[in-house]
Amino acid sequence: MSKSLIKWTVGTLAFSMSAVSAQAELPSQQQEQAPGWFRMMVGEYEVTALYDGQTTIDTSLLKGMEQDEILRHLNTLFIDAESGMQTAVNAFLIHTGENLVLVDAGSAACFGPTLGQVESNLRASGYSPDEVDTVLMTHLHPDHVCGLADENGEAVYPQAELRASQADADFWLDEERAAAAPEGNQAFFEMAQNAVAPYQASGRFKPFTAGDEVLMGIVAHDTHGHTAGHTSFMLNSDDDAMLVWGDVVHSYGVQFADPTVAIEFDSDPEQAIRTRESVLESAVEDKHWIAGAHMPFPGIGHIVKEEEGYRWLPVEFGPIATDD
Amino acid sequence: MSKSLIKWTVGTLAFSMSAVSAQAELPSQQQEQAPGWFRMMVGEYEVTALYDGQTTIDTSLLKGMEQDEILRHLNTLFIDAESGMQTAVNAFLIHTGENLVLVDAGSAACFGPTLGQVESNLRASGYSPDEVDTVLMTHLHPDHVCGLADENGEAVYPQAELRASQADADFWLDEERAAAAPEGNQAFFEMAQNAVAPYQASGRFKPFTAGDEVLMGIVAHDTHGHTAGHTSFMLNSDDDAMLVWGDVVHSYGVQFADPTVAIEFDSDPEQAIRTRESVLESAVEDKHWIAGAHMPFPGIGHIVKEEEGYRWLPVEFGPIATDD
């Protein structure tokens, strides 16, 4: 048989096969979620939300509202609280034109397999960890700090300066305070210290003070209460502004309706409430963007005042709108 | 020089190079948006929202409300209307376990480069167009129908049965009606006829009647008004339900606040308003999911009643929650 005849036969066979199976073949359900990143411009700054994953928070951790009222609020908003409220963990990557800045680093392996995706989503979004030159921390809780170091204790962002507020560093990195803490809280100190260690060792850990312009166009706002040095970062570019607020709100279903509800993890609940009230009022007045670590991914939106409480208006998905 | 010495030298060189450049190199801003798909379960049905892109709608196309009141509503919700309201176009892919069903096919090239991404997002989400066995049309407007055929007039879903309501087929595929239409509207007829043609030619175009269970667990609901045969599809699986409602709402910023506002494209505005009012009431009462072609991507959410009008509660991003 000549080579061309073989080709012809194979061609015919392929044709009749496809004629026989002229019906779609049903694949399995894919059951994979889309990659967890989202991008937008704030003036000339490019902001990328990075999804670390989600965890569940038991409603009993919310303080200052009866459980049945909490459930009524959640129910109205179709938030299923039966096995805890689904709570996102988001980090934010900001390309200012001069710097590539990560705000918070996610949970890595500190809270199990439903979290720890900041690094992979940063890569999926088109960047590489060694391109990050600055990491800003809103505070040193493990769901923000653990992603700084890998399982060998090496820096995940090997070229970056790490910056946290002096007040949070004084608290979480103090070995005496750690030793004196209740046993259940000691892991939090240890996680913070392990995550910060490689940056300290290479001389790249540089605390800031509230009020500092940590980078051009990025100012550290004092929003303490949730932790001693909890910080929000205000970005300003052209006429646009965004407050990367960290943990000002944990439960959008309850704390927008009533900002006086605190959460178990607040180190100073009364101050955390005052901070939340004042940050929400400013956001309504100034109409700037909010980027929240625990708001539903991508965690970006605006806030409007309601007759009672506030309302969250999530950003709309769309193409990147540049001024060019 | 021996081979091993060369290796050693190269190793040292590489080491000193990295020591010199111990500073992150700033890449360009990526300015790409994340892929436009999103997935969730409705009972045992897997639903994937597919982003076709976005277009802008001039507020003057909204009828039944003064322009300054329209702008006031949009302004409150931070919707920029200066160069038209950003309006998403979404299609939905449903894997029922028995069928892979696409609802609407997007705009292809009919409305320019900001639209036409249904096929690429379907692929990005893990499926292939030739795995789709059924395409259901909410109606035969070009931003839903053009994606059925490629630039050569071939079926993009070569193994699929195409199903549209008899009433919409009678209207848009009628050549006499097309010829009698005002010149400005004739393109709509032509686009529908071209898109449906390859499915008709291969005997795979099968109209349905409102009320039909078009596939197991998927019922065609009569929601005419926007077009003569506009249809919404109600999915029911286990105790969960979703109404894929097509074009019941075009402007979430205005028509939730006041459902009596119509849009220029409605073929029977009075009936479109009655349909919208009744669909919104049912959604509030039955608490089912809504999947909307022109709601902000992914277009999926719930509806609650407000003192005046209604409020849209978008679905929260997260991992795929199966009952297993």
Mind giving me the DSSP string for B230-285? Answer: -EEEEEEETTEEEEEEESS-S-HHHHTT-TT-EETT-SSHHHHHHHHHHHHHHHHH
Least CA distance to A97: which residue of chain B?
B29
Tell me the per-residue pLDDT of B154-186, one tens digit each, with 9 for 90 and over.
Answer: 999 999 999 999 999 999 999 999 999 998 889
For residue A233, give the H/E element and its range: strand A231-237
**Residues of B with CB below 8 A from A302's CB?**
78
Asked if B140 and B110 count as a contact pair (C-beta separation under 8 A), the reply is no
Assess whether pLDDT exceeds 90 at residue A8. Answer: no
**Which of A271-285, B247-261, B310-324 has the least mean pLDDT?**
B310-324
Q: What is the mean pLDDT of the segment spanning A276-294?
A: 98
- In angstroms, rounded to a whole number, what is the distance separating the alpha carbons of residues B204 and B187? 24
Q: What is the mean pLDDT of the segment spanning B299-312?
A: 97
Which residue in A194, A114, A126 sits closest to A156, CA to CA?
A194
- In angstroms, rounded to a whole number, what is the distance separating the alpha carbons of residues B172 and B170? 6
Count other Cβ atoms within 10 Å, centred on residue B299: 26
CB–CB of A320 and B25 under 8 A? no
pLDDT, position B184: 85
3-state secondary structure of A165: strand
Handedness of CA A31, A316, A38, A49 (dihedral sign): negative
Tell me the per-residue pLDDT of A219-229, one tens digit each, with 9 for 90 and over.
Answer: 999 999 999 99
Rounded to 5 degrees, φ, ψ at B279 are -65, -40
Q: Which amino acid is at B282?
A: S
For residue B168, give the H/E element and its range: helix B166-172
Peptide bond into A298 cis (omega under 30): yes
Q: What is the mean pLDDT of the segment spanning B109-129?
A: 97
Tell me the per-residue pLDDT of B126-144, one tens digit each, with 9 for 90 and over.
Answer: 999 999 999 999 999 999 9
Residue B3 burial by Cβ neighbours in a 10 Å radius (0-12, 13-18, 19+): exposed
pLDDT, position A323: 56
Assess whether pLDDT exceeds 70 at residue B11. Answer: no
pLDDT, position B22: 54
> How sure is the predictor about A19, in pLDDT bands with cuts at 50, 70 and 90?
very low
Interchain CB contact of A201 with B (< 8 Å): no
Asked if A82 and A133 count as a contact pair (C-beta separation under 8 A), the reply is no
> How sure is the predictor about A14, in pLDDT bands with cuts at 50, 70 and 90?
very low
Q: What is the DSSP letter of A270?
A: H
Peptide bond into B298 cis (omega under 30): yes
Assess whether pLDDT exceeds 50 at residue A15. Answer: no
pLDDT, position B68: 96
3-state secondary structure of A72: helix
Count other Cβ atoms within 10 Å, centred on residue B239: 6
Task: Tell me the shortest Cα–Cα distance from A27 to chain B, in angstroms.
Answer: 7
- In angstroms, rounded to a whole number, what is the distance separating the alpha carbons of residues B309 and A92? 35
**Residues of B with CB below 8 A from A128's CB?**
27
Which residue in A247, A250, A148, A252 sits closest to A195, CA to CA?
A148
Considering only residues A2 and B61, tell me which one the structure prediction assigns the higher pLDDT: B61
Name which of B18, B21, B31, B117 to mutate to probe chain A: the one with the most chain A Cβ atoms within 10 A of its Cβ. Answer: B31
Assess whether pLDDT exceeds 60 at residue B13. Answer: no
pLDDT, position A82: 87
pLDDT, position B322: 73
CB–CB of B29 and A38 under 8 A? no
Asked if B86 and A318 count as a contact pair (C-beta separation under 8 A), the reply is yes
Assess whether pLDDT exceeds 50 at residue B3. Answer: no
Count other Cβ atoms within 10 Å, centred on residue A322: 10
Residue by residue, DSSP assigns B178-245 as HHHS-HHHHHHHHHHHHHHHHHHHTT-B--B-TT-EEETTEEEEE-TTSSTT-EEEEEEETTEEEEEE
pLDDT, position B46: 98
Task: Tell me the shortest Cα–Cα distance from B223 to chain A, in angstroms.
Answer: 25
Torsion of CA B112, B114, B115, B119, to 10 degrees: 110
Assess whether pLDDT exceeds 80 at residue B36. Answer: yes
From residue A188, alpha-carbon distances to A59, A110, A166 in Å are 21, 10, 17
Candidates A23, A27, A114; nearest CB to B127: A27
pLDDT, position A24: 80
Q: What is the mean pLDDT of the segment spanning A96-115?
A: 97
Which residue in B109, B163, B124 sits closest to B140, CA to CA?
B163
Q: Which amino acid is at B256?
A: F
> What residue segments make up the domains of chain A, in order of their start?
34-314
pLDDT, position A238: 96
- In angstroms, rounded to a whole number, what is the distance separating the alpha carbons of residues B19 and B211? 71
Q: What is the mean pLDDT of the segment spanning A311-324?
A: 88
Count other Cβ atoms within 10 Å, centred on residue B306: 11
Write down the CATH number for the domain with range A34-314.
Answer: 3.60.15.10
Tokens representing residue B173 in the block: 């595929």
User: What is the average pLDDT score of chain A?
Assistant: 93
pLDDT, position B23: 75
Gyration radius of chain A's alpha carbons: 24
Q: What is the mean pLDDT of the segment spanning A10-21?
A: 39
Tell me the per-residue pLDDT of B237-276, one tens digit each, with 9 for 90 and over.
Answer: 999 999 999 999 999 999 999 999 999 999 999 999 999 9
Asked if B230 and B247 count as a contact pair (C-beta separation under 8 A), the reply is yes
Residue by residue, DSSP assigns A167-224 as HHHHHHT-HHHHHHS-HHHHHHHHHHHHHHHHHHHTT-B--B-TT-EEETTEEEEE-T
pLDDT, position B2: 41
Interchain CB contact of B95 with A (< 8 Å): yes
CB–CB of A100 and B27 under 8 A? yes
Count other Cβ atoms within 10 Å, centred on residue B127: 21
Candidates B27, B95, B296; nearest CB to A127: B27
User: What is the average pLDDT score of chain B?
Assistant: 93
Q: What is the mean pLDDT of the segment spanning A169-186?
A: 93
B91: β partners: B50
Assess whether pLDDT exceeds 90 at residue A201. Answer: yes
Q: What is the DSSP letter of A28?
A: P
pLDDT, position A7: 39
- In angstroms, rounded to a whole number, what is the distance separating the alpha carbons of residues B42 and B241? 6
pLDDT, position B85: 96
Tokens representing residue A154 in the block: 């090496």
**Which of A14-18, B44-48, B100-104, B212-216 has the least mean pLDDT?**
A14-18
Which residue in B299, B314, B252 sits closest to B76, CA to CA?
B252
Tell me the per-residue pLDDT of A41-66, one tens digit each, with 9 for 90 and over.
Answer: 999 999 999 999 999 999 999 999 99
Interchain CB contact of B100 with A (< 8 Å): yes
A42: β partners: A45
ipTM (interface pTM): 0.92
Asked if A246 and A139 count as a contact pair (C-beta separation under 8 A), the reply is yes
Assess whether pLDDT exceeds 80 at residue A23. Answer: no
